[in-house]
Structure 1
Amino acid sequence: MKRGRTWRGIIAGTCVVLGAGVLFLIALAPATLLDVGLRHATEGRLRLAQARGTLWSGDGVLEVRDETGHAVGKDLSWSLQTHALWRGRLDFAVAIDHAGEAFPVRLSMRGIELSGADFSLPASALGVAMPQMAALGPRGELVFHIAKFSRVGEALSADAVVTWKDASSAVTAVAPLGSYELRFNSVAGALSATLRTLNGPLRLDGHGSWRGSGALGLSATARVDARYRSQLTPLLSLIAVERGDGDFVLQLGPPLGGALSPGGLKEP
């Protein structure tokens, strides 16, 4: 009996020592390691610039980057929640732009999970994330609400909405063009996106998908009110094909397998 208690004591002591060693390494590991992980997971589209501190606690600038290195970013800070270390995962409290409440981000050997994230970016980020949009010089505000997101292995799951408020463009005097909502849901381990118009003279409707690599594939129709057609046709011609009577069809990112056929899109 004493021998059994002795072995249990040795095992428990070893676990404490190893746990302390892990905490020590995390406390010393530089924050730049987070940039390495982001760069690898997003094929370089998300980066943590000016990273300071350690994995335990730090700050930097979360950037969305295009292939040329052009970036749009927001301040980001994080702190490690130590209670989860014993479960073999890293739980962080993350805040963006020093505003609002921090939201949880969980990293483990299985993948990444986050929930309750609310933040905004300038609409110029659209031109970074979708290079075809750069020619429009997008303006306005992108508001993100991520109720939940996870990537476990190759499987993606999400309940999220991105709203483009008071959308406008550097190449037209018509402003605002409208406000638009892009909603993400999970379908068969990938993300399905639905685009709809909230208001405005330029009405957009479409759908897309993302499987975790490459750019979001989005197919949509655009319809312009008659009184704005002469002003907005040159704008839409930069990224879309005109069907006539103020209707346009556009494809952003990879093609979606026939989505541009006349019956492939839902008319607004």
Structure 2
Amino acid sequence: MTYWMRRARAVLPWLLVGAISSGTVLLTRLPAAWIAPQFARATQGHVNLVDPAGSLWHGSATLMLAAGQDATGATLLPGRIEWQTAFWPLFLGRVSMQMRQTEAMPDPVQVEATLKSATVTAGAIAVPASLLAGLGAPFNTLDFDGNVRLAWSPWRTFGTDAFGRLTVSLTDMSSRVSLVKPLGSYEVVVQAQGASSTLDLTTQKGPLLLNGHGTFSRASMSFEGTASATPEQSDNLAGLLNLLGRPTGPGTVALTFVH
């Protein structure tokens, strides 16, 4: 063994220690802003972290949700979303985070992510009804108000495919274009099945009856349903029904959306 080979062999362990130490310091100092674009990219812009503070390990941000395909109609939630990230899983190529929203989601959820997949444990969050405006017409015209709650089963993504069940509860909804208040309570169930998903709308109670079924994917969306009114409110809701869809019979309109 030559002199230089012996020197290199002696120095190599210290170089490795220095490299690991430097990498560890860099990891511990990663700012919270580093994680914001990762969430936006993974959710196609539906979940965004605004005004991040702290670090990757212990930080917070304002949660902005967008129901549509872009930031149009995005809604900022009051309070802050807070997270804590485990350190050691990163050495296995995995991110492990616990997240909670101080006002809308007090019960924390666990986020596990790798370069190819991600999992979010079951949870629920209350959101403003204004979020519905981001879905476009007719929601942005009707300007709904009421209590909106999102609840989901364990949600998994593999690349661009998603698997899970999302339930949207719309309670005591009203609209600025109707004097009938409340219009009713409704439930929307989204079943993500990989590259495509299904959507089912049902009425829980109220004078405005909404029902339908749809399918959607990254390339297209279609929904077929009906809207009608109970007999005692048919006259008062006639104007609203005309805004919702095309008449198909006495007091009934078709809810058809194709994109």
| Fold match (TM-score > 0.5) | yes
Q: Deviations over 1:113-164 (max 9, x none)?
A: 1012211101111112345311001111111111211110132101221111
Match of 1:173 among 163, 170, 179: 179
Q: Is the 8 A contact 1:130 1:215 kept in 2?
A: no
Alpha carbons of structure 1 residues 16 and 145: separation in structure 2 relative to 1, 3 Å: farther
- Mapped partners of 1:88, 1:107: distance in 2: 9
Q: Deviations over 1:171-190 (max 9, x none)?
A: 11111111111112243543
Q: How many positions carry a matched residue from both structures?
A: 243
Match of 2:163 among 157, 160, 180: 157
Q: Give the TM-score, by structure 1 length.
A: 0.79
Alpha carbons of structure 1 residues 97 and 240: separation in structure 2 relative to 1, 3 Å: farther
Which residue of 2 is the match for residue 71 of structure 1?
74
Match of 1:127 among 124, 130, 133: 133
Q: Give the TM-score, by structure 2 length.
A: 0.81
- Mapped partners of 2:24, 2:253: distance in 1: 56
Alpha carbons of structure 1 residues 71 and 156: separation in structure 2 relative to 1, 3 Å: closer
Which residue of 2 is the match for residue 264 of structure 1?
none
- Mapped partners of 1:79, 1:102: distance in 2: 10
Shift of 1:103: 0.6
- Mapped partners of 2:224, 2:133: distance in 1: 16
Which residue of 1 is the match for residue 6 of structure 2?
none
Q: Which amino acid aligns with 1:73?
A: L
Shift of 1:15: 9.4
Alpha carbons of structure 1 residues 188 and 70: separation in structure 2 relative to 1, 3 Å: closer
Shift of 1:231: 2.0
1:145 aligns with 2:155: no
Which residue of 2 is the match for residue 37 of structure 1?
38
1:114 aligns with 2:115: no
Secondary structure at the residue paired with 1:174?
Answer: coil
Alpha carbons of structure 1 residues 132 and 34: separation in structure 2 relative to 1, 3 Å: farther
Which residue of 2 is the match for residue 103 of structure 1?
109
- Mapped partners of 2:159, 2:17: distance in 1: 28
Shift of 1:90: 0.5
Shift of 1:226: 2.1
- Mapped partners of 2:135, 2:90: distance in 1: 34
| Residues 221-240 of structure 1 mapped to structure 2, 5 A cutoff | 221-240=226-245
Q: Which amino acid aligns with 1:80?
A: T
Q: Is the 8 A contact 1:132 1:252 kept in 2?
A: no
Q: Is the 8 A contact 1:32 1:52 kept in 2?
A: yes
Alpha carbons of structure 1 residues 14 and 251: separation in structure 2 relative to 1, 3 Å: farther
Which residue of 2 is the match for residue 25 of structure 1?
26
Alpha carbons of structure 1 residues 133 and 86: separation in structure 2 relative to 1, 3 Å: same
Q: Is the 8 A contact 1:158 1:191 kept in 2?
A: no
